[in-house]
Structure 1
Amino acid sequence: MAQSHAHAHKEHSGETLIEAARDALTNSGEQWTGMRQSVFTELARHERPASAYDIADNLSKARGKRVAPNSVYRILDLFVANNLALRVESSNAYLANTHPGCEHDCIFLVCDECGEATHIDDEEVSRTVRGLASARGFKPERPVLEIRGLCRACA
């Protein structure tokens, strides 16, 4: 994941990512339930964006009983609202935020061939986009930029 930011934060992976997500969610006043942990753990194991249906199918197989995609969607929406997950709008898929609780605008490079989505943190681009919106009397809440094309491996 490419990074370019003006502040320090720690990238997490594996168990420390799950712990950081739990801490960020509980610190925001939400509960970290068994189902939420299962959804986050499943999301975090994907290197490419995963859909709610992918996550529900994998959890259903692992649990031996059906997990409804609608339940997964609600949890993923909660994760996005609390900066635990990032949503790739054009593919309706999600990535785990490797620095939970750290708020960034979503800037993605999305490969049309292999589906890879690289999240970029760039404070200058974020300031520019937010400034353009504000200058037109628009209050930006959650800017999302997606640049579609081919990744280095597919180009």
Structure 2
Amino acid sequence: MATHHHHSEHSGDKLIKEAGAVLSEAGEQWTAMRQDVFRALAAQDRPASAYDIAEQVGNARGKRVAANSVYRILDLFVRTNLANRIESANAYLANAHPGCRHDCIFLICDDCGQADHFDDDSLTGGLRQAGRDHGYTNVRPVVELRGLCRECAG
């Protein structure tokens, strides 16, 4: 039987404020650039690449923003649970519940690129345990299921 998380999802300015609080609690600074990157990421309705985010932040700031800088910030966001990385697409999604730690299982549409997630602690817990049983530590499940969303399967 699946164990599911119950958490509050944030959006808009409330999400930005929560992300800043979570990053600060992690001992990191919530700089203007980090806020701009998070705001741009949170505005996406599909997984976005660092290049997409760099372009959007650069346009908003009126000057070019290096994708390398955005990659570093996105990696920090993933480490601090502010964002999730869609490994198969090398793209990122803002975490709508940054204060909640769990392993997401992503459903990714092969046609439109939409990504949704759900939580199943029994499945991801079993994967963590399997990794430990094989002598690995700090196991981090990355589970992505690909197919067609309801709209594309039409």
8 A Cα contact 2:81 2:101, kept in partner: yes
Name the counterpart of 2:88.
90
Deviation at 1:119, TM superposition (A): 1.5
Distance 1:30 1:5, change over 3 A: farther
Whole-Å separation in 1 of the counterparts to 2:55 and 2:45: 17
8 A Cα contact 1:83 1:100, kept in partner: yes
Name the aligned partner's letter for residue 144 of structure 2: E
Whole-Å separation in 1 of the counterparts to 2:86 and 2:44: 14
Secondary structure of residue in 1 paired with 2:75: helix
Distance 1:43 1:127, change over 3 A: same
Whole-Å separation in 1 of the counterparts to 2:55 and 2:41: 12
Provide the TM-score with structure 2 as the length reference.
Answer: 0.93
Whole-Å separation in 2 of the counterparts to 1:119 and 1:140: 22
Percent of aligned pairs with the same amino acid: 61
Work out whether 1:79 is the aligned partner of 2:77: yes
Let me know the Cα RMSD of the aligned residues. Answer: 1.3
Deviation at 1:101, TM superposition (A): 2.7
Distance 1:31 1:109, change over 3 A: same
Structure 1 residues 68-147: aligned runs within 5 Å: 68-147=66-145
Unaligned runs of 5+ in 2: none
Q: How many residues align structurally?
A: 152
Provide the TM-score with structure 1 as the length reference.
Answer: 0.93
8 A Cα contact 1:82 1:101, kept in partner: no
Structure 1 residues 3-42: aligned runs within 5 Å: 5-42=3-40
Name the counterpart of 1:53.
51
Name the aligned partner's letter for residue 73 of structure 1: Y
